[in-house]
Amino acid sequence: MWSIRMRASSGRTHVSGAETLSRQEDIITVASSFLLRALCHKKGMPSEIVITVEKLKESPSSVAPLPVKTLDCPSPEQAKIIIKQLLKKEGVSEISIKKALSIVYSSTTMRGASLIDIKTGRRLEPDKSRGVRVSRLGLEEASEERLSGILEKLGINTTRVKEALILASKVASCPGIVAELCISDDPDYTTGYVASKGLGYQRIPNIKEKGSLSGGRVFFVKSGSNINRIIRYLEKRPVVVSVEK
């Protein structure tokens, strides 16, 4: 198995990124689809595109996809209420929720995710402007059709949903991470989610106003966790999502 990663930027501004795992025979197809994505991004033409193709040193472990649910939500105001309710259920404190909201609703976006202590609201990622980028994640080949089938039934079988669900399923499997909050930084994409092992993947429509440049991800971390270990898992540990028959 190979890890394929893409990052596109314009000066110091991050334009787009993507990562997946691939079999050797699919490297060219996957890498060119990432290149195409970088060249056609809504946020504009990047001035630099980096594609990394790297053979994995360890074989991936597999996790099940989180169960998917789409909530009713008419507005960003309502979305904030829903986010608070869900995160509270997972033991995230008021102050940590506030901090997270200020990050994901800010118009300065990061390339990766912020890590926030569930009690104190403190940010734990070493590089606050970049964040932590989850990498080395993918979908087991035999599960591709099964996952498409599940999402098809829900009317959401898109690359974006698939990639977000795969990411959320890896993140939820990371020891020490309690929950995740995500808003796309794409101005036209207004559905976000809250995810955790217990809550599953809960989609929130109208999480932001159409045209808004804000977006981001926050991973909520159990107090006292070993941060380096968490980052190593998120960035380096190969994980594939596998759907049972």
Options 25-33, 39-47, 91-99, 189-197: segment touching ligand WAQ (CB under 6 A): 189-197
Number of residues that bind ligand WAQ (CB under 6 A): 25
186 contacts Mg ion (rule: CB under 5 A): yes
- 239: phi then psi, degrees, rounded to nearest 5: -135, 130
Burial class, 148, CB count within 10 angstroms (exposed 0-12 / middle 13-18 / buried 19+): middle
Nearer residue to ligand WAQ within complex by CB, 60 or 131 = 131
CB of 25 to Mg ion, least distance (A): 28
Cβ within 8 Å of residue 223, ≥6 positions away: 117, 118, 119, 120
**From residue 10 to residue 49, what is the string marking binding to ligand WAQ with x (rule CB under 6 A)?**
-------x-x------------------------------
214 contacts ligand WAQ (rule: CB under 6 A): no
Structure tokens at 10: 């314009």
163 contacts Mg ion (rule: CB under 5 A): no
Options 160-168, 178-186, 191-199, 206-214: segment touching Mg ion (CB under 5 A): 178-186
- 4: phi then psi, degrees, rounded to nearest 5: -120, 130
Choosing from 191, 196, 214, 242, the residue that interacts with ligand WAQ (CB under 6 A) is: 191
Choosing from 160, 229, 232, 236, the residue that interacts with ligand WAQ (CB under 6 A) is: 160
Choosing from 8, 79, 113, 147, the residue that interacts with ligand WAQ (CB under 6 A) is: 113
Element containing residue 123 per DSSP (H, E): none
Element containing residue 48 per DSSP (H, E): strand 48-55
- C-alpha distances in Å from residue 150, one per residue of 66, 82, 182, 234: 12, 25, 21, 25
- Provide the pairing of β-strand 61-63 with 192-196: unpaired
CB of 235 to ligand WAQ, least distance (A): 9
Nearer residue to Mg ion within complex by CB, 118 or 134 = 134
Element containing residue 32 per DSSP (H, E): helix 27-39
Binding site for Mg ion (CB under 5 A): 185-186
